[in-house]
Structure 1
Amino acid sequence: MKDIIRNYSLNFGYQIIVLLIPFISIPYLSRVLGPNNLGVESFTTSLTSIFISIVNAGTIIYSTRQVAALKSKKELLVTEVYNIVLFRFLLGLISIIIFIFIILHSKYLNIFLVQLVFLIASTFLDCTWYFIGKENFKLVVLRNLVIKIVGLLLILQFVKNQNDLINYVWINAITVLIPNISLLIPLFKEIGKPKRVYFSFRRLTELIGDIYPFFIMGIITQVYMNIDKIIVERNNLIYELGVYSQFIKSYSVFLAPITAVGTILMPRITTLIADKKEDSNKIIFFSSNFIFILCIPISLGLLSISNEFVSLFYGKEFSEYLLLFQLGIILIFTGSLSNIVVQQVIYPNKLEKIYNFALTISSIFRIILIIAFINIVGIYGPLIAYIMSEFALMSISIYKTKKYIDIFKIIINFNNLKIVIAGIVMFFIINLVNQNLMSLKIIIGAVVYIFMLYILKENLSVKITNHITPFLKR
């Protein structure tokens, strides 16, 4: 448990900085590039992400899990890592060839050519899965931190007006390319130089069968996550796509501290299950408790200050889409739920087939809803479809995994009800504040929320209080 807390503390510190950086970059880019340019960038990145998924989403989860399971067996680990690297390389070649063929006649060809660099950097050169599997979060976190800071500085320096979209795309590509190259040095230092004996045609063919569920899941996931942007662009709603994509990015930023929980715990839970230990359920209960404590105040707090936040954060051009932003806050809740179900139950227990089924049904459902709603309510259609498909995805996943672990009991329990009550009280208190000072509302909300958790004797809050009290008495 100490390792988990240390890793989370490190990751949480990183997520705080990551949270602060978009508070500079998103408002800056919203004003400098404007919704139209951001819509083009969102469309091209979405299409590129689908091709990146042919390599990454098909192998990263599997590779991380394999490294976590074999990390104490050096010889087997090295052989497995090199076969995975070769397998990813071959998939990367296929992905790039198809990508080039598709973009040749695009009106955004110059941007897609830069996105090609991003694709190569994110496939051939990405080895973060190895270090996450070994729970070496310090190296990954420090690297990511440098990426974020350097990327922000480059944006402020080279993106000055609406003609600098290509510079912004180049910055996104370079800030992935160079750090991924740098990680190859410690990788080869740990596993040694490649030798012919490491590679096995038999193992490569076995990998096809092992990774196939992840591969299908990766493709479906990326289609699921990006099809809305592609359909919006095809309906010539580029301006609206820029607004929509900036909102979606913001929700991901607020989900960052919650996402960190799943990233850290997935390899640990995998290891416990591989060693046939029973501690994994305790960790899931602990993490879900922690996720709810973060999720509820973030969601309700953001909703209570949304009017001031949208105007200040994005600019006046985005204010007319306030309702769109408020509706999308639901995605923070569904994202939190997904972290518990997918990262801590499905992946560690090797239940990819269940997730593939749920994801396929939800993707079809989402596409149908987008097409049905976009001509009726415009950009609100894709967001409504996103929310409804997220609930469908989680409902199917929870139902299909109930014989492995009762996720429903983890989510719906008396302790989580206390957290929800504390959040609702916080929400109403914030709305009673007449001042338009957003910072004042945030401070009041945080104080009220923490006080309510203490009054209601919420489980994790009681444990923290019991640990802190002895130090305060000294």
Structure 2
Amino acid sequence: MNLIHKNFIYNNVLGITNLLIPILIFPYVSRVLGPSGIGVVSFAVSLTAVFALIGSLGIPIYGIREIAKVKNNKEKLSKIFSELLIIQVFWMFFTLILYSFWIFFTDTFNDEQIIKYVSYLHIFGLIGMFTWFFQGIENYKFITVINFLIKFLMIVLLFILVKNQDQYWVYYSVIVATTLIGSIISLFYAFTFVKVRFTNLNFRRHLKPILILFSTQLAIGIYVNLDIIFLNYFSNEYEVGLYAPASKLVKIILIVVTSLGTVLIPKLSRYIKEGKIEESKKIITKSLRFIFIITLPISFLLICLSNEIIFVFAGEEFSYSATLLALLTPIIFLIGLSNIFGLQILVPANKEKKLMLAVTLGAIVSVVLNYVLIPELKSKGAAYTIIITELIITILTFYFARQEMKFNLPFKSIIHYSLLATLIIPICYLLHTFLTGITYLLIASVFSALMYVSGLLIIKDKFFIENIWKPILNFKK
């Protein structure tokens, strides 16, 4: 099996792990902590995520591309890694100072002193993850294994330590501690591939592309996390807690949906550098088929089963979250597409400025709409805002991507996948006439998946068979 297929499967295992772990954890912590406790932690996670993006300085995307270009030359690999590492360390300390000013002048966490101080460590841990290096050298096996072990440790600690409604700070502390452990292990393992240097380094060559990607990543971080941050400032922790399960479910599904994008950046960067445009187009076409074949059935399932999913995932106190989950479902499809147009076409083609323009406009729209809609509509306003924002970004990135590469949308396949996915609606409707609760959720999900996969095999969908079905069957080989 070729490297792309192996890395794709490893990345999907990683995505599935990141999807399943919250599904195991959240039902427990949501019932113990309730909406308000979940709201405090969700706000802390979102706020630190924005500052971690500031601290990462665009290196997580830029680093993948640059490391991929020199992965077979240890001398150049060590030089580039050393340059990016030193840049990131210096910028990280500046970010922590900036964060201190923010929480001081906005009175953030004044009533949550433990959360305040632990959040510093969270930023440090998030910035210190060197996933970009291992993605660049295409070592997805390590990323998958370390992620699984750290998540397993988090599960054990949460079930042992979080026992009552007042221990939301313990929940957050466990998240932060395991993140730090993962960062430290990743750093030391990276040192087995490179030798860190402090002489003959050229920082200047990285600054312009890093700053462009930094602007892009910051804009993305703002509009992705602004919903929860605005909800906290313009509403209350309880409203954040109701919004959190729906937002979390959509985001963990997106981990799987967008997994192919990061796997393909190194390959596409090399192809474009070598002028292999036709090969690049073939990869983009495969990516588009993957997004449609995955997101359409997932979207229909989430809408049909939103009530049951939220009840199992979060509990009866969060029943309103089902409405929010159904509202947020379209962003799975939209982000999947914009991920292709942005990360798989514009970034490898060194057109970060166009991506920056698209996401910056999206971020501006997000700020305005959140400011207008959240005070009136609360969590629904946040949901409407992110849908409109993602739609605008998808349209803009598609337009810019088409300027760089004349790829075609697989319309025939889209029709096939859409027709098969719509069959999920009558399946769920019929099963719901005599099944309820978790039984209905499980059986409807299994029947829908079997129907969809069987349909793809019956129509002999070439993409599904060659790129998903056969690699899964042949993984051990």
Task: Please confirm whether the aligned pair reaches a TM-score higher than 0.5, indicating the same fold.
Answer: yes
**What are the residue-to-residue correspondences of 1:285-304 with 2, within 5 Å?**
285-304=285-304
- Stretch of structure 1 that moved more, 129-138 or 446-455: 446-455
Q: TM-score, normalised by structure 1?
A: 0.92
Look up the SS of the partner of 2:167 in the other structure.
Answer: helix
Deviation at 1:393, TM superposition (A): 0.6
- Taking the aligned partners of 2:218 and 2:191, their CA distance within structure 1 comes to 29
Aligned pair in 2 of structure 1 residues 446, 274: CA closer, same or farther (>3 Å)? same
Task: Identify the residue that residue 355 of structure 1 maps to in structure 2.
Answer: 355
- Taking the aligned partners of 2:114 and 2:468, their CA distance within structure 1 comes to 57
- Stretch of structure 1 that moved more, 425-434 or 241-250: 425-434
Task: Tell me if structure 2 keeps the 8 A contact 1:7–1:264.
Answer: yes
Q: Percent identity?
A: 28
Deviation at 1:150, TM superposition (A): 0.7
**What are the residue-to-residue correspondences of 1:432-451 with 2, within 5 Å?**
432-433=430-431, 434=433, 435-436=435-436, 437-451=440-454
Aligned pair in 2 of structure 1 residues 6, 310: CA closer, same or farther (>3 Å)? same
Task: Identify the residue that residue 458 of structure 1 maps to in structure 2.
Answer: 461
Deviation at 1:39, TM superposition (A): 1.2
- Stretch of structure 1 that moved more, 336-345 or 296-305: 336-345
Q: Is structure 2 residue 121 aligned with structure 1 residue 142?
A: no
**What are the residue-to-residue correspondences of 1:66-145 with 2, within 5 Å?**
66-104=66-104, 105-106=107-108, 107=110, 108-123=112-127, 125-145=128-148
Task: Identify the residue that residue 415 of structure 2 maps to in structure 1.
Answer: 417
Task: Tell me if structure 2 keeps the 8 A contact 1:296–1:423.
Answer: yes
- Taking the aligned partners of 2:368 and 2:468, their CA distance within structure 1 comes to 49
Deviations 1:256-305 (A, max 9, x none): 22222112111221122223324222112122212221111111112222
- Taking the aligned partners of 1:189 and 1:463, their CA distance within structure 2 comes to 36
- Taking the aligned partners of 1:444 and 1:466, their CA distance within structure 2 comes to 18
Task: Tell me if structure 2 keeps the 8 A contact 1:10–1:138.
Answer: yes
Q: Is structure 2 residue 196 aligned with structure 1 residue 197?
A: no
Task: Identify the residue that residue 182 of structure 2 maps to in structure 1.
Answer: 179
| Letter aligned with residue 394 of structure 2 | M
Task: Identify the residue that residue 236 of structure 2 maps to in structure 1.
Answer: 237
Task: Tell me if structure 1 keeps the 8 A contact 2:288–2:340.
Answer: yes
Task: Tell me if structure 1 keeps the 8 A contact 2:291–2:333.
Answer: no
Deviation at 1:100, TM superposition (A): 1.8
- Taking the aligned partners of 1:118 and 1:292, their CA distance within structure 2 comes to 35
Deviation at 1:322, TM superposition (A): 2.3
- Taking the aligned partners of 2:456 and 2:130, their CA distance within structure 1 comes to 41
Aligned pair in 2 of structure 1 residues 245, 207: CA closer, same or farther (>3 Å)? same
| Letter aligned with residue 266 of structure 1 | I
Deviations 1:26-83 (A, max 9, x none): 1112111111111111222222222211222521111111000111232222111111
Deviations 1:334-371 (A, max 9, x none): 22222322221122112211111111111111222222
Look up the SS of the partner of 1:189 in the other structure.
Answer: coil
Deviation at 1:316, TM superposition (A): 0.7
Unaligned 5+ segments in structure 1 are none
| Letter aligned with residue 396 of structure 2 | I
- Taking the aligned partners of 1:195 and 1:301, their CA distance within structure 2 comes to 51
Q: What RMSD over aligned residues (CA atoms) do the two structures have, in Å?
A: 2.2
- Taking the aligned partners of 1:302 and 1:466, their CA distance within structure 2 comes to 23
Task: Tell me if structure 2 keeps the 8 A contact 1:143–1:179.
Answer: yes
Task: Identify the residue that residue 325 of structure 2 maps to in structure 1.
Answer: 325
- Taking the aligned partners of 2:446 and 2:131, their CA distance within structure 1 comes to 37
Task: Identify the residue that residue 212 of structure 2 maps to in structure 1.
Answer: 213
Unaligned 5+ segments in structure 2 are none
Q: TM-score, normalised by structure 2?
A: 0.92
Task: Identify the residue that residue 52 of structure 1 maps to in structure 2.
Answer: 52
- Taking the aligned partners of 1:234 and 1:463, their CA distance within structure 2 comes to 49
- Taking the aligned partners of 1:394 and 1:293, their CA distance within structure 2 comes to 18
Task: Tell me if structure 2 keeps the 8 A contact 1:362–1:390.
Answer: yes
- Taking the aligned partners of 1:464 and 1:304, their CA distance within structure 2 comes to 28
